[in-house]
Structure formats: C-alpha cells, structure tokens
Amino acid sequence: MAGATRWGGTEDLEAQRKKEKEEKKRLKQLKQQQAEAEAAAARERKEEEESEAASRPAKKRKLSTSPSADANGSSMTEKRKLLRFQAGGWGPCRNISNFETLNQIEEGSYGWVSRAKESATGDVVALKKMKMEYAQDGFPVTALREIQLLQASKHQHIINLREVVMGDRLDDVYLVMDFIEHDLKSLCDTMSEPFLASEVKTLILQLTSALSFLHSHWILHRDLKTSNILLNNRGILKIADFGMARLTSDPPPTNLTQLVVTLWYRAPELLLGATTYDSAIDMWSLGCIFGELLSKEPLLQGKNEVDQLTKTFSLCGLPSDTSWPAFRRLPNARALKLPRDPGNAAHGIIRTKFPFLTTSGCSLLSSLLSLNPDARPSAEDVLNHAYFKEGPKPKPTALFPTFPSKAGGEKRRRASPHAPVRGEVAKGLGDKEIDFSGIFAKRDEEERGAGFTLRMG
C-alpha cells in the first residue's frame, strides 16, 4: 500500500511534471501562433497602406497666385479627398414602369428630361433618359461618367441621383433625380428684373461650395452654365448635368478633350486649343454665371469660336507675355495677330459694364475672368472673398422669392447653345490669321467694348 502510495506518489509527480511540460509547450506554441498572426496582420496593413498611397493622386498644384490663395493654398491641398465609389452589390435596376410621366421638361444634348411620379410613393421626380446614339462601343462613356460621378457627389448643392432605372430595352436607361422647380436660365429669361445683389451672393456662395466639393474630389464639371444650375422654391441651388464631367489628377492629364463647356461659358485656354487644363476652366464659367446673374443676360454670347474669343478679349483685355506667359504655347495662339504692347486697355471695362457692382465685387468678377487660368481664384478663395462679407449680406434662403415653375407644366424653352457633342473635334480658329491689333484702338470714342474690327486674313 505504502509502496504503492510512494510509487504512486512518484508517478503523480512524474505525471505532474509531464503535464507542466506539455502545458509550457502548448503556451509556447500559442505565443508563436499569436506572434505569427500579428506579423501577418501588420504585413497586410502595410500592403494596404502602400496600395492606397499608390492609387492616390499627387497633391494638387496651387491654382491661384492671389495673396489669399497663398495663405490658404496649402491647407486646401491637404483637404483634397479620395472619392469612395460604392463597390455595391449586384442587383437588377428597377423598371421605368414604376414611374408615371407627368410632362416633358427639356431635350438636351445627352438626354430627354421629364417630370414623373413614382407610383408607389407619389414622389415627384425628374427622369433623364440617357441618349445612346453616341455609343460606338457599348454603353456611352459620358453616361457611365455621369452616373458614377453623380453617385459619388453627395452634396447639398449637387442634384441628388436617387437611382438608375431601365426600360424594356438594354439601351433604355433613365436617371431618377429629385425634381427641382427651376433652372437659373429659365428664371433669368422670365424675371422682369435681375436678382438683387444679396440674392446673387447667396446663389454664388451655394454654387461655389458645390464647386469646392467637386474640385477637392478631383472632379471637373466642364459644362457649368445657368441652364445646368437648378433652384428650388426654398432658394436652394443644385448643380446638375454631369454629362461632361470627369475625374482629373495633378498634374492634369495631357490629352483631355478640348471641345468641352458650352461656347458662351468656355474659358480662353480651351478656345485656344488647350488639351491640358484644370479646375480653372470651371472658375471661368463661374465668372460668366456671376455676370449673367447680375445682368440677367449671358455675358459673352459668341456666334462661333472666333467670335467668342473676340468678345472675351474685348471684355477682359488681350493676353500678353507678362499677364499670361503660357498662352503663346497653346495650339491656336499662332492664329492671333496681337499688338506688340497690348497694355491694359480693357482695365475698367468690367467696372463700366456693371456700374452697380461694388469695388470688391468687380475685383472678384475680374479675377474669375482672368485670361490666365493660373490667376483665377480657386473655389475656396471665392468662398473667403471680401465681397460676401460686405453689405448687403447674402440673403437667407428662407427669404428667397418663389417663382412659378416652368417645368411644372410646360417645356422650358431657351435660346442658348447646347453643350458640345462628345466625339466631335473642335473646329479651332481656322487657318487664317485673326487680327486683334486694333481691338482697343478707338476705345475712347466708342461704346464699351464695341467697335473693334475682326479681319480674317
């Protein structure tokens, strides 16, 4: 018994030691496994960070040379964000039969827009039927971009894309958007008086905040004009029509489409054939819209590219090597005959054209309409401009007047050019020399901006 007890005791001890040894081994293994798992996770994290850094565009070059941009430029750069496109799941689009058409609103270059009611909810929406006739190779790239960029641009002042629905055929694609009562073009056409200064300020601030969002997310709109800017009856503005929009990078791609932006809102670098451009093209259009809201009339109504350039130079002055060092390198610059020293004869034309605009309003408008894209302010600079801080203060949206909606019952009619047709090649300025040397020669005796001669050849 005793032996058994003793031996038994030794056996117990032996068994205990063995157990402890096994436990130690198990713990060691566990530790090793943990360490391996941690190392693998760290590796994965590193790889993820590296691939994100590789896909992130380089920081944006500062666009403006204005002092306020100097102060804000770097912080603006840091604020640029990556767009997160929804990976989304696969699922069928709903059918157009869920909607009941109420009335047609407008046929544009890229689609037909109508007002409709969603049968299940009674919600009134705008339906844009995408035009597929420019599709050479499947679904048109403009339609894809419009859907993708609208989905990614959720902002109070950008039209809300609710969903995409299909008709019975594969090329029957509709965008379902919130319905907005007016566009600024129809309003300007029907109002008897232009917007008040306080209203213009509110509209420009809303528009610029959406632009700041787009540009900080690397999106160029490339077709800003009053007919693409919607306004609801509560004074809230929304940018619409992303049919020409695209993503950009820094430095900007070198082979961008030259034929973008509706003629009257097209920046001079585009008219001169630039294929590398940046968000400054949208800032030019913003300047044109600012002028149009103040006077109720489109600012630069060219009949063709040459006429557009002529009207631009008569309002903003001629380009010179000092004011716009890069302009001579643009493809169409060779076609221009300019005076040796263009001076600043145009200085003050904007002031004369807008006699009720304050000095700081004039300085904002002139800077947006700088021929040199690098001299135009960024959207962020505009938001911080003194013009919006001086009286009259921007009008609160709740106090905005309401207007009867044209889209509520009838087609919106307008007499302005459509957006350029994708795939068409820019006509350029022709191969004859365009003589601008006498453009301001007799300015003193003439009415503002008029009276120059345009000689072909």
Applying CB under 5 A, the residues found at the interface with Mg ion are 108, 228, 241
Q: Check: CB of residue 138 under 8 Å from CB of residue 118.
A: no
Other Cβ atoms less than 10 A from the Cβ of 189: the count is: 18
Interface of this chain with ligand ATP, residues 382 to 421, rule: CB under 6 A: 407, 412, 418-419
- Name the binder of 400 from ligand ATP, Mg ion, none, CB < 5-8 A by kind: none
Contacts 24+ apart (CB under 8 A), 93-100: 93/163, 93/164, 93/165, 93/166, 94/163, 94/165, 94/166, 95/165, 95/166, 95/167, 95/168, 96/127, 96/165, 96/166, 96/167, 96/172, 96/174, 98/165, 99/125, 99/127, 99/165, 99/176
Is 183 a binding residue for ligand ATP by CB under 6 A? The answer is: yes
Nearest residue to Mg ion, scored by beta-carbon proximity: 241
Quick note: the x/- pattern for ligand ATP over 208-227, rule CB under 6 A, is: -------------------x
- Rounded CA separation 336/315 (Å): 17
Kindly provide the b/e burial profile for residues 324-353, where b requires at least 16 CB atoms within 10 angstroms of the residue's own CB. beebeebebbebbebbeebeeebeebbbeb
Is 108 a binding residue for ligand ATP by CB under 6 A? The answer is: yes
- Name the binder of 110 from Mg ion, ligand ATP, none, CB < 5-8 A by kind: ligand ATP
- Name the binder of 175 from Mg ion, ligand ATP, none, CB < 5-8 A by kind: none
Point out which span in 172-180, 307-315, 328-336, 340-348 binds ligand ATP (CB under 6 A).
Answer: 172-180
Is 110 a binding residue for ligand ATP by CB under 6 A? The answer is: yes
Q: Which residues pair with 394 in a beta bridge?
A: none
Cβ neighbours of residue 222 closer than 8 Å, sequence gap 6 or more: 244, 245, 246, 260, 261, 281, 282
Is 106 a binding residue for ligand ATP by CB under 6 A? The answer is: yes
CA nearest neighbour of 433 among 349, 338, 345? 338
Whose Cβ is closer to ligand ATP: residue 99's or residue 436's?
A: 99
Is 230 a binding residue for ligand ATP by CB under 6 A? The answer is: yes
- Name the binder of 159 from Mg ion, ligand ATP, none, CB < 5-8 A by kind: ligand ATP
CA nearest neighbour of 105 among 173, 185, 32, 33? 185
Whose Cβ is closer to ligand ATP: residue 208's or residue 228's?
A: 228
Point out which span in 35-43, 56-64, 176-184, 195-203 binds ligand ATP (CB under 6 A).
Answer: 176-184
Rounded least distance, CB 241 to Mg ion, Å: 4
Map residue 165 onto helix, strand or coil.
strand
Contacts 24+ apart (CB under 8 A), 189-196: 189/414, 190/403, 190/406, 191/296, 191/403, 193/296, 194/293, 194/294, 194/295, 194/296, 195/293, 195/294, 195/296, 196/392, 196/395
Nearest residue to ligand ATP, scored by beta-carbon proximity: 108
Q: Check: CB of residue 107 under 8 Å from CB of residue 128.
A: no
- Name the binder of 126 from ligand ATP, Mg ion, none, CB < 5-8 A by kind: ligand ATP
* Binding residue (CB under 6 A) for ligand ATP from 73, 235, 243, 317: 243
Rounded least distance, CB 400 to ligand ATP, Å: 17
Rounded least distance, CB 241 to ligand ATP, Å: 3
Point out the residues that are catalytic: 223
Rounded least distance, CB 141 to ligand ATP, Å: 14
Rounded least distance, CB 148 to ligand ATP, Å: 15
Whose Cβ is closer to Mg ion: residue 422's or residue 443's?
A: 422
Q: Check: CB of residue 332 under 8 Å from CB of residue 273.
A: yes
Rounded least distance, CB 214 to Mg ion, Å: 16
Binding-site ranges for ligand ATP (CB under 6 A):
105-106, 108-111, 113, 126, 128, 159, 177-180, 183, 227-228, 230, 240-241, 243, 407, 412, 418-419
